[in-house]
Amino acid sequence: MIGLALIKINSIYIAFTLTVLILLTSIAHKQSIQYKTESLSAISRKILLNILKMIINFNIKLLYILMVMMLALLIILVTKDMAIPILKDTITLIVVVMLTTLFSILFLNPIAQRLGLVDNFNKDRKYHSGSITLIGGTSIYIGIVIGVFLFMTLDSNSLTYLVCSSLIVVLGVVDDAKDLSAKFRLLVQSLVAVLMCVGSDNYIHNLGNILSFGEVNLGALGYAVTVLAVIAAINAYNMIDGIDGLLGTTALVTFVSMGFLFFLSADITNMKLTLILASALIPYLISNLSINQKLLPKIFMGDTGSMLIGFTVVWLLIQGSQPQAEGKLSFSATTALWLIAVPLMDMARVIIVRLIHGQSPLKADRTHLHHILLQLGHDKRMALLRIFTLSAFFAVLGIAMHVGHFQDVTNFLTFLMGFALYFWRIRTLSKRLL
């Protein structure tokens, strides 16, 4: 049995290595045609440099190849000795939540138009024309509530989530209608974060061994860190909601990735919640991207949606990355960073740049990644595809490091290097616009 297992594992790695070699050989063949007169070492250096440039330039084809390779390896390694449980109500859950969200969109759209709950064209910050209703977040919320009540156990944890998310939705709807001040929004978001900590004991208290000196336990300081994390996540997803489909697809990557990790750790409760969120996002994306306007009218998330998504993301990340009553984790705190890498990196970069220039970190401008890609000549769909691909690549990389049992400090340092590379690359792209 041991011998067969070793042969199976070795065959997996041999197949994976051969795939990598085929990829490199194809690239090398193209390069050798260009550099026939140069030495082998010079050609090798140029091949490696070109591969690095392709990664730095967010080359979509290469990122897709790398993601497919990593996903294939992950699936083989994870399922080779695992009996995958099939949830009987999975298909029912998906259908019910999708239909609930779909009918909510159809029902709320004419009401929102009559009430004036619309996003009007703004030449300074908007990339659309006409008035689009802001009911995406509310429709998703209705789908979530129905999904939780029908398919999840209503314990203190799930009820606390529903209460907190309901408060966030009320805040978002009022903000969409009345345009509340930033200070008031931050106050309510902070109070919701405190309620989350107190009502469900869901807060950040362990960062793992990110400094290689042992586990970093925050103690009572964890409550303050959690409040900051909730505010940061809500605003990170609000900031990235700049072009059609961007918030929805980025959130979809995060929820699907978390769902996979919850599945690996047999955390069925949180896996169901991620499935509910992902299912609720699909009708919204069909509507927001105008995939079938005969079926669904075009709508936007609004602040309701970005706040709800941001809060739910941080709720689930804390659930998965913090030791629960039985002491087990679904993933580490450092893995959590990879699952929200693009919104987190983009927000951090924008805030740093604003502070360097003496501006308010909350001031709206056109320095986000999607703004830069559009100003460089990409259309909205290509900008969306590039950012979605980058988000998926980071998430798959984080999952791969989790499955590979990388140490927390290695994972954290790799993330910091990824952020430094991201910051440098966006800075070089921004210089082209000057």
Binding-site residues? 238, 303
Judged by DSSP in three states, 119 sits in: strand
d(CA 171, CA 133): 17
Nearest-5° angle of CA 302, CA 305, CA 311? Answer: 140
Both tokens of 346, joined, read: 């983009």
d(CA 123, CA 143): 33
d(CA 60, CA 171): 38
Sign of CA dihedral 294, 295, 301, 302: positive
407-424 burial, b for 16+ CB within 10 Å, e for fewer?
ebeebbebbeebbeebbe
- Helix, strand, coil % (nearest 5) of the chain? 70, 0, 25
Question: Which positions make up the binding site for Mg(2+)?
Answer: 238, 303
- Write down how long the chain is: 434
User: Where are the strands (E) in 123-183, listed by range?
Assistant: 132-133
For 350, how many CA atoms within 13 A lie in the half-sphere containing its CB?
A: 24
d(CA 405, CA 416): 18
d(CA 425, CA 419): 10
* Neighbouring-strand partners of residue 206: 217
Radius of gyration of the chain (CA): 23
Element holding 83 (H helix, E strand): none
Both tokens of 173, joined, read: 């709807």
Whether the Cβ atoms of residue 133 and residue 112 lie closer than 8 Å to each other: yes
